[in-house]
Amino acid sequence: MRIKVCGITKPDQLMQLDEMGVEFAGFIFYPKSPRYVFSQMNKEQLRKLKGKQINKVGVFVNTPAEEVLHMVDACGLYLVQLHGDESPKYCERISNYVTVVKAFRMREGENILWRAKDYQDVADMFLFDTEGAGYGGTGKKFNWKQLEGETVKKPFFLSGGIEPTDAELLKEFSKSSVAKDLFSVDINSKFEIAPGIKDMAKVQAFVTAIKG
């Protein structure tokens, strides 16, 4: 099972994640986020930041397309995660240049596949997160049973309040039929000492439990 650690702000922590075998590191380009990447480093520093295998993911919220495309090159991004209210047409423009992960914030009882249907042909992957008051992470899980029995037909990231003790729950979820499209789990705030500062011992224990 692949792992993405989101909200990275410290270069040394990215290198530690790389050594652990984590596949993706998320950098938040949303200025209102307490994990805003440019509060801790600049574009040049981010561009030069490379591990042996870890891939840099840029997380954007309703950002002008030209700016997203500029950041892909300026910061050396491998994936772009669109976490706002981006339209299918917008997603298509970005996906013509870089791999796009379109995020959807899950509401209780919602048929997420109906909501995502217009993005099937314009996004490369999906991410399912928990609905909150804003665009940032809530630190809360949504009901994963909303996905069970569905056929996403698109690789997806599972996000939203995943905790250090959730490895067994994730292994159970991975046995469900919908999980044939599960691409990666996405962890963030439950693994932090402070916003943007990860508790690397918790991350390491989680990686060991997941990857075994």
pLDDT in tens, 116-148: 999 999 999 999 998 864 666 666 788 888 888
pLDDT in tens, 33-61: 999 999 999 999 999 999 999 999 999 99
User: Looking at residue 188, what is its pLDDT?
Assistant: 95
User: Looking at residue 135, what is its pLDDT?
Assistant: 66
Structure tokens at 107: 């509401």
* Mean pLDDT, 10 residues at a time, the chain of 212 residues: 97 97 98 96 96 96 98 98 97 98 86 88 95 65 84 93 94 94 96 97 97 86
Structure tokens at 51: 């591990």
For tokens 């996004």, the residue is: 123
Q: Side chain identity at 26, as an amino acid letter? A: G
Q: How far is CA 91 from CA 94, 156, 194, 199, in A?
A: 5, 16, 32, 33
Percent of the chain with pLDDT over 90: 83
Helix axes 88-95, 65-75, angle to 10 degrees: 30
| Residue ranges per structural domain of the chain | 2-211
User: Nearest Cα to 12, choosing from 43, 58, 45?
Assistant: 45
Handedness of CA 62, 187, 41, 31 (dihedral sign): positive
Q: Are 207 and 3 in contact (CB under 8 A)?
A: yes
Class for the domain spanning 2-211: alpha beta
Helix axes 11-20, 200-211, angle to 10 degrees: 20
